[in-house]
Amino acid sequence: MPSRELRSLPPSPLLSPPHVHRQSHNLLPPLAGGIAAAASLLILFTFCFRKISLKRTVPSSDSESKPPHRFSYTSLRRATSKFSPSLRLGQGGFGSVYRGTVKSPTTNSNVSVAVKGEREFQNELFFAGKIDSKYIVSTIGFSSDKRGRRMLLVYELLANGSLQDCLLHRKCSELKDWKKRLSIALDIAKGLEYLHHFCDPPAIHGDIKPSNILLDDNFNAKIGDFGLARLKGGGISSTPSMRGTVCYVAPEYGSCGDLSEKCDVYSYGVLLLVLIAGRRPLQVTGSPMSEFQRANLLSWARHLARAGKLLDLVDQTVESLDKEQALLSITVALLCLQKSPARRPSMKEVVGMLSGDLEAPQLPVELSPSPPSRFPIKSHKKVR
């Protein structure tokens, strides 16, 4: 809190000339009372300020954040059997990802990890030391030589891989369960809520998409890949050039390169529709015209909203569908996809709406069915 200058105080009655001594004695009781009251207020203010500060600092996990451990390149080479092709988990623009086993820096026991080369090594390492949440992939350590070569990052290994692989490629049977999809949507929303509202300064991920969401043994979701992340300082952070994945990039970021929390909100809206529909944002099959109209998922969702047929968007393979929750989820996604950043909800509001802690939202006016109709969404039903 900035310090304020103290104004000069009037001369103290205790230093008054001798001829006003009787008057000064009369002033002593109120002066003492005033000093005591001021001291009490100061103590109360300090106590309140400390309570407010502590309330704002939300613990992200049971343990305090610790800096990543430095591994030797040799130890990581050994952990991955000399980067054996049989241990390769995937390939990307950054290089390959390998499964490995290393000694945990904290428990000294063997742990399975994912080892990858990283194009945005410094950025990833910077955020690894600042972020600690059960909704974010943990960075265990890194390796880098003095010349800045052989830069590797070591992450916790999440057994079920990326959401993109599980939902769109392998089509895991576990994701046919509606409750599991909604649970994944909430995990991702809570991860973004942590970045935007509980990090100081707020962190903006900048590249939310299914391939950057990883799933553990129980299909709990965690946000990974902070290569394009930025800290928000004072206003909107700006990057030299627009980066990210086209279908998931907010319009304002694509046009002028301004990156804010509301860009993450937009990307989350796209991802939520993908999770509900079980398909990519753009999917051209070249079949009949009816299929061609569905090619752009966002346009198709808006069309269905105006027609009052939102449930037609839901993946037909989903089992045990809760129609009420599905309508709520699609409505939240469309709110996140509004062109104006100011009209999009915050991630704290998204979490509240999806979990049932906030009143169920209505569709934006421009997407309301004509003639208007109210969807049967109830706000009291909480997601467990």
Annotation says 132 is catalytic: no
d(CA 97, CA 226): 15
Burial of 350 (0-12, 13-18, 19+ CB in 10 A): buried
Is 116 labeled as ligand-binding? yes
Annotated catalytic residue, options 132, 165, 187, 207: 207
Reading the block at residue 351, the tokens are 């979490």
Query: Closest Cα to residue 78, out of 118, 33, 110?
Result: 110
What number of H helices and E strands is found in the chain?
11, 12
Number of Cβ within 10 Å of residue 193's Cβ equals: 21
d(CA 199, CA 62): 16
Torsion of CA 158, 163, 167, 169, to 10 degrees: -80
Burial of 154 (0-12, 13-18, 19+ CB in 10 A): buried
d(CA 325, CA 186): 12
Q: Which long-range contacts (CB under 8 A, 24 or more apart) does 249-255 make?
A: 250/341, 251/339, 252/341
Active-site residue set = 207
Q: Which residues are annotated as a binding site?
A: 116
Q: Which residues are annotated binding-site positions for ATP?
A: 116
